Structure 1
């Protein structure tokens, strides 16, 4: 896999930030690859697997999580202590009302959140309304 150095360099200053890292781009441009590379880097820096939650909403294994309540409950069960958790949600636009869930985790837990999507919904008014001033965006 080709290391996406220029994108990683732009994201690194925000790895531990409470800002939601939003990665957008057309299909098949490397958004998921960038997420996997961020995960590899934070693991190299000592973050344990138990504090990393990765969900690819294009994987059928997670099809039941496209409901906001199911998505919230699934992630909530993974957060079991006060340590920092790293949440990676790939193609999150497949979740109904994802903005509400993401904002809730950001507001109530010690988390660093990364989301990707190729759909214009990530840039829509709903996301802007719920996460206004709380995001950093990277276009791939």
Structure 2
């Protein structure tokens, strides 16, 4: 529960920093909490960081697209603050730490995991954005017919 609250407040603070609007602060904070819940739940089951990060990012993307339509604002308001808890900062730090300690095999492993996690975040957000864009075009095409 503590981690979920920290994810919420981390995303909330980023929303405050980017001045997204007072009526959207809580929703932006929930975006980070949703992503962290999905990440931590799947990480408990699988123990794999990359898959868990991807699912967390997909959940943030899905939440962002739905919240954007409900609150009539851009989805990036929620997706940027929502991915904040998922960003693999500790992985990047550990990669550099292993390099400095001359543990090159561990640094390569942690570096690849960090880059893959970052790529999964981008892929998850883009996937949900593309799905909603296709659904919008299909809906628009049905109205025109």
Q: TM-score, normalised by structure 1?
A: 0.33
More helix by share: 2
The structure that is strand-richer by fraction is: 1
TM score, norm. by length of structure 2: 0.32
From the CA coordinates, give the structure whose radius of gyration is larger. 2
